[in-house]
Amino acid sequence: MWLLLIVNLAGKVAAVAVGWSSPAAAVTLWLLPDALLAYHLFVPRSQGLVRTARRFATTRREAWLTIDDGPDPDDTPRLLALLAADGARATFFVVGEKAARHPGLVRAIIAGGHEVALHTQTHPLATFWCASAARVGRELDAAREVLRAAGVRPTRFRPPAGIKNLWLAPALRARGLSCIGWSARGLERAGGNAEAVAGRVLHGLAPGAILLLHEGPRVPAAIRVEAVRRVLGRLRELDYRCVVPAAEQLAG
């Protein structure tokens, strides 16, 4: 984080120093570090600000199904039934506010043998990148408090849409949380039907893949739950098991 900030500041100082003698160079020096910083904030696969797991270590045909944005009173019970019928395990990255409204669903996820992980308290998609250190802390702590009341001590976190923040790494470290990304996502709102979503999330499938799908009303009605059903079906055909990896499998 500090390296990126120093590079950014140095770029600004150099731009001012070059000044009017070479306007093109000054503009480049001013903007280039911003572009570098923006890359590490907004590109989910970037590793410059926060180390983010994008796959897990395994030699078996195993994938990690992760479902974001719940719990949802319509979708979560149906997803749990699907997973149970399949003998699959998954991780639900839940939003604290929703978990507070539906603590019974959080307990049902745990009772089903799945993992509950953090996805912030309010899902501040547009403002997470520029949130202050205090706000980032509040997003984590409020959601942790909700989950703790439901008997869960989360160890994993996924930022909204994979967007980072300058203060995220130390905030996660202080709370013993690791940052989880994905190797493929369904992009449910990007168009196409449930089959297209399943195709996107299973594209390039390999052992250790982290698959990202969503639940809740933001997912188009025809895709809700159905995309997960199709993904589970395809994984079964391909002889893949859905597992929740241990911490050691995410190191390195």
Minimum distance of Zn ion from residue 147's CB (angstroms):
16
Contact region for Zn ion (CB under 5 A) — 43-51, 56-64, 67-75, 196-204? 67-75
Q: Is 69 one of the binding residues for Zn ion (CB under 5 A)?
A: yes
Q: Please identify the residue of the shown chain whose CB is closest to the bound Zn ion.
A: 68
Minimum distance of Zn ion from residue 65's CB (angstroms):
15
Contact region for Zn ion (CB under 5 A) — 7-15, 66-74, 99-107, 189-197? 66-74
Catalytic-labelled residue, pool 114, 119, 123, 214: 214
Q: Is 68 one of the binding residues for Zn ion (CB under 5 A)?
A: yes
Q: Which of residues 101-160 bind Zn ion (CB under 5 A)?
A: 160
Instruction: Classify residue 168 as exposed, middle or buried by CB count within 10 Å of its CB (0-12, 13-18, 19+).
Output: buried
CB closer to Zn ion, 91 vs 240: 91
Minimum distance of Zn ion from residue 119's CB (angstroms):
6
Contact region for Zn ion (CB under 5 A) — 29-37, 69-77, 174-182, 198-206? 69-77
Active site annotation includes 102: no
Q: Which of 31, 30, 34, 27 is nearest to 5 (CA)?
A: 34
Minimum distance of Zn ion from residue 12's CB (angstroms):
33
Minimum distance of Zn ion from residue 16's CB (angstroms):
39
CB closer to Zn ion, 11 vs 162: 162
Active site annotation includes 68: yes
Catalytic-labelled residue, pool 68, 69, 72, 75: 68
Residues within the interface to Zn ion (CB under 5 A): 68-69, 160
Catalytic residues: 68, 214
